[in-house]
Copies of this chain bind each other. A is one copy, B any other.
């Protein structure tokens, strides 16, 4: 196993944080796309061929990801969700895709996705059936993992529908992790283990899974986004310790570009998922994504916060009824800060200082607004920083200490900052 990890790490060009990952994968939160939130279990290929769960859908989305800026931004996993299967295993007990909707087979689909420089994810449930009643993996872990490896699968999302009880489910996830790590192929393991039972041991889960869903599914509503943010805030003390390189949270999908979030709200979700140390899987129709949503999910400065190599989860450090502040430690003793409004009336002015935020460098910080993409100036510990936060909106800043700025850690803002 060690040689496989070493090999995959070499392929990835990774030399640090090896200890933190059981399989060398997900050293930063995985980035990709998954069909579920937007396309669900749409089987109506006869009347809705563009949007049904089929090889066409995944191939088209992979093409967009590869050619319209997503791949360059870091998105690499193209993930199938439920409903890809035939309703029965074959004579040898192997899973097979629905022959009508996936006529070319999954090995061919994986080859195509790989030819674009991307990776293919698949879905299964640690139980007798998937949530939509397709065959589950119970009793078939070895043969299914072998099949995935033969097809060239790069990620398995493991649900928990129709599981056989807590003990068997836990055993299954551990066995699955072992099987994936012995499959001869680096396969990222995205688990819903944590959400199936209350009070799980997240630190144990992180030993076996590269990401873990702790909550029920997201839906296309702002209320659900808010309730997920609240859950992560309420559990941040435990999750802060459990997550990091190799094992990240999963707040479920980014719904920017679906139907229910305003541009303001879509910015907020994207920023908050970044702070929550969540994997970032889009689930909208990228073929027709509006420019505002695309600009949000491709924002390089926000994505840099998500992909920060420290892998530290952000934490809510301040909470009022309609306003909160989150901070996240970044490499180079820098910090990301999200000012998040839950107001429903009008934009409000908010003020703080580096000292109030708890940032320790006594010489002060250079501050940049990451969505506005402009420098806000240099702030000694007690200098007032004012931001206007829109209802249901965020302002995201990055604070870089003066000492690091001088050493060149501030990237392309060096010059303007050193002037201050």
**Interface-centre pick from A38, A219, A262, A392 (highest chain B CB count, 10 A):** A262
A175-183, A220-228, A354-362: which lies at the B interface?
Answer: A220-228
Q: Give the chain B neighbours of A220 by CB distance below 8 A.
A: 344-345, 391-392
In the assembled complex, the CB of A333 is this many whole angstroms from the nearest CB of chain B, namely 33
Inter-chain contacts of A223 with B (CB < 8 A):
223
Contact with B along A245-274 (1 / 0, CB 8 A): 000000000000011111111000000000
Candidate in A42, A219, A260, A393 with the most chain B CB atoms within 10 angstroms: A260
- In the assembled complex, the Cα of A225 lies from the Cα of B123 at a distance in Å of 37
| Residues of A85-116 whose CB lies within 8 A of B | none
Contact assessment for A344 and B392 in the assembled complex, using a CB-CB cutoff below 8 Å: no
State the CA gap A135–B68 with chains docked (Å): 59
Contacts of A392 in B (CB 8 A): 220-221, 259-260
Instruction: Report the copy number of this chain in the oligomer.
Output: 2
Contact indicator A221/B262 (Cβ below 8 Å): no
Asked if A192 is at the interface (CB within 8 A of a chain B CB), the reply is no
**Structural contact, A345 and B391, CB atoms closer than 8 A:** no
Contact B390 A344 (CB under 8 A): no
**Inter-subunit contact B38/A346 (CB<8 Å):** yes
Q: Which residues of B contact A290 (CB under 8 A)?
A: 263
Q: Please name all residues of chain B whose beta carbon is closer than 8 Å to the beta carbon of A151 when the two chains form the complex.
A: none
- Complex CA gap A332/B220 in Å reads 39
- CB proximity of A252 to chain B, nearest CB, Å: 13
Q: Which residues of A does B touch, CB under 8 Å?
A: 37-40, 42, 47-48, 51, 219-224, 258-265, 290, 344-347, 349, 390-393
Q: Which 5 A-B pairs have the closest CB atoms?
A: A219-B344, A259-B391, A259-B264, A220-B344, A259-B390
